[in-house]
Amino acid sequence: MAYMIIILFLIGIILFMGYRLHIKDIHYKYKADKMTHLEHSYENRIHDLEDTVNSLNQTAFTHTVTKIGNIDYFINQCTSLFGRYPNSVFIMIGFSISSLGKINQFFGPSEGDKVMVYTADILKNCVKGNAVYAHVNSNLFGILLRDSSEEEMLGMIDSINAKLKDYSSAFAVSAIFGIHYIDLSHTGDSLMDIMNYTLLAQKAVTDPKTMNYAYFTEELSRSYNENKKMSIEMEEALNNHNFIVYLQPMIDLHSYQIVSAEALVRWDYPGKGILSPYAFLPLFENTSLIQKLDYYMWEECCKILRRWIDNKMAPIPIAMNISPIHLQGSAFIDKLEQLMHSYLISKDLLILELPERGVANATKEVAEIIMKLKEKNFSLCIDNFGSVHSPLNLLKDYPIGQIKLDRNFLTKNSSSNEGLTILRYLVAMAKELDLTIITEGVESLQQANFLADIGCDIAQGYFFAKPLDVRHFDQLNKSMLRNLYRPSEYYPTFEDFAKDVDILTQMMQRVG
Ligand code: C2E
Ligand code: MG
């Protein structure tokens, strides 16, 4: 009996152990299954991640419109080729579609995009062999050729030209090419410099109908380096306050008092003296430097106004030039408001001069910005009116309170009877539309009197005063002009004002 119990007990233990082993087995199997499952799911996730990274890379290196390589792709590929083939001859070509602006304007931006996609397809077919190509930015394609003969390169340009012509029978599509033979031993050149060389070469194309390509020459290289030096110096000049605000008075033609002043930039350039904006603005306008300079000028104007207010000097409104580049977005409005807030300047003390070239044929975006400025109660003036387009429709379409007639418009029209008639009617029309009309470039008493007679409100020009630094402007404003300008009593000539500083002495003598 005892044996039986022991045997049963042992059987029980064996069965129990078997059961435990079975359970463990199931457990391990379950764990192994789970591991396999997890492994698969990790593998899948890794694949997914790889796909995502690949597609992100693809997106990062692809132009959104044309789906060919973009600027990052181009930089990557070119840098790698330069590294791999240091002894090769490389030619960089940059080209732009010359009529893209007009195509966008007349047929809409989607047609412009189609032209770009078509051009990208041409590149896929025409650029062969040891070459890289990309859609570098909005209207710039880049091609890098390695060890290609000049003949091959010009042949490729010819075939691109021929295919572009086939795009449409309704309008012409053409391109302008800039060519640069890269000197890899010139280690100071970045890829952006090299791209810029092709842009400068494009600008050297004078008659695209006969020859639509140009090479980057020694002469272009010299001027590029000079400009580059100036751009670097500009940052320093901003910090050192080497840019100076000059103010040119605007005179009410009925009361002959200064009613406002235009702020005009000057660069006090070490070793060269005071530079006119024409010496540096065109360079700045091709880069973002113009934004920095304008911001600086606007702040300087706010400081001048604050000083006038603090010194109880009856502030007059200052008109500030707004470079067209600002009108591409609304960031500058925030900047203006921020400045006005910091210096506690009210909006009636600032006039924004929007250049005609920036607002003529205004795109939807520019129109919206003009409306926004008006909603925020800024005083707006169209500057250089009549210089290029005479956009009469602007006057009815946009809430602009003032127009400033371009200096050349006055010069051109004040020498003939027909011209004077045009001026008379333009002023009459502006009056009908309730606009204040300012005429720029008034150089003689005769012009001033004529403008007053036909109802022009305000004049600006050397007849009254050249742009003056703020100290001289303050003296002029405070001590004399308010009482002095009487056309019948005061007859300065243009030559009298040969030197800005002389003006005060001249006038003192007359008053004395
Ligand atoms: P603008 O806005 O049309 O300014 C008027 C220009 O005409 C000024 O040239 C002024 O000195 C000149 N002027 C005025 N009256 C007469 C006159 O009776 N006879 C002659 N011959 N010229 C006269 P300036 O100061 O050389 O400025 C040239 C242009 O540079 C300006 O033309 C404006 O477009 C631009 N500019 C000047 N300062 C700035 C600035 O701070 N920011 C921006 N974005 N542009 C500026
Ligand atoms: Mg102006």
Residue 282 binned pLDDT confidence (cut-offs 50, 70, 90): confident
Dist. CA 406–CA 440, nearest whole Å: 6
512 half-sphere exposure, CB direction, 13 A CA radius: 6
The secondary structure of residue 494, as a DSSP letter, is G
Dist. CA 448–CA 464, nearest whole Å: 9
- pTM, whole model, 2 decimals? 0.66
* Least reliable range by pLDDT among 169-178, 353-362, 479-488: 479-488
User: 49 or 497: whose pLDDT is higher?
Assistant: 49
User: For the chain, what percent of residues have pLDDT higher than 90?
Assistant: 50
Centre of ligand 2 to C-alpha 294, Å, is 12
Residue 487 binned pLDDT confidence (cut-offs 50, 70, 90): very low
User: 504 or 280: whose pLDDT is higher?
Assistant: 280
Give the model's pLDDT for residue 508: 45
427 neighbors 458 (Cβ within 8 angstroms): no
Residue 1 binned pLDDT confidence (cut-offs 50, 70, 90): low
Dist. CA 202–CA 96, nearest whole Å: 8
CB-proximal residues (5 Å) to ion ligand 2: 321, 353, 383
Centre of ligand 1 to C-alpha 264, Å, is 6
Instruction: Please check the confidence at residue 494 and state whether its pLDDT lies above 60.
Output: no
Instruction: Please check the confidence at residue 95 and state whether its pLDDT lies above 90.
Output: yes
Give the model's pLDDT for residue 499: 40
Mean pLDDT value of segment 300-318: 95
Centre of ligand 2 to C-alpha 262, Å, is 7
User: 197 or 29: whose pLDDT is higher?
Assistant: 197
Pocket test for ligand 1, best of 264, 356, 410, 496 (most atoms within 8 A of CB): 264
In the three-class reduction of DSSP (H, G, I as helix; E, B as strand; rest coil), residue 25 is classed as helix
In the three-class reduction of DSSP (H, G, I as helix; E, B as strand; rest coil), residue 213 is classed as strand
User: 462 or 285: whose pLDDT is higher?
Assistant: 462
Ligand 1: nearest atom to the Cα of 276 = 26
Residue 21 binned pLDDT confidence (cut-offs 50, 70, 90): low
User: 357 or 163: whose pLDDT is higher?
Assistant: 163
Centre of ligand 2 to C-alpha 479, Å, is 26
Give the model's pLDDT for residue 497: 38
Pocket test for ligand 1, best of 299, 301, 321 (most atoms within 8 A of CB): 321
Q: Which two tokens stand for residue 25?
A: 């087995």
213 neighbors 179 (Cβ within 8 angstroms): yes
Centre of ligand 2 to C-alpha 353, Å, is 6
Dist. CA 181–CA 279, nearest whole Å: 29
Instruction: Please check the confidence at residue 55 and state whether its pLDDT lies above 70.
Output: no
Centre of ligand 2 to C-alpha 287, Å, is 20
Q: Which two tokens stand for residue 265?
A: 């930039």
Residues with CB under 6 A from ligand 1: 248, 264-265, 276-278, 281, 290, 294, 297, 321, 323, 383-384, 407, 440-443, 460-462, 467
CA 364, 284, 437, 413 dihedral sign is negative
Ligand 1 atom 5: the closest Cα is on which residue? Answer: 440
User: 133 or 223: whose pLDDT is higher?
Assistant: 133
Residue 2 binned pLDDT confidence (cut-offs 50, 70, 90): low
Pocket test for ligand 1, best of 353, 357, 381, 407 (most atoms within 8 A of CB): 407
Residue (of 177, 100, 187, 113) closest to 145 by Cα position: 177
301 neighbors 278 (Cβ within 8 angstroms): no
Give the model's pLDDT for residue 361: 67
Residue 189 binned pLDDT confidence (cut-offs 50, 70, 90): confident
Give the model's pLDDT for residue 511: 41
Ligand 1: nearest atom to the Cα of 404 = 3
User: For residue 276, which phi and psi values (nearest 5 degrees)?
Assistant: -75, 155
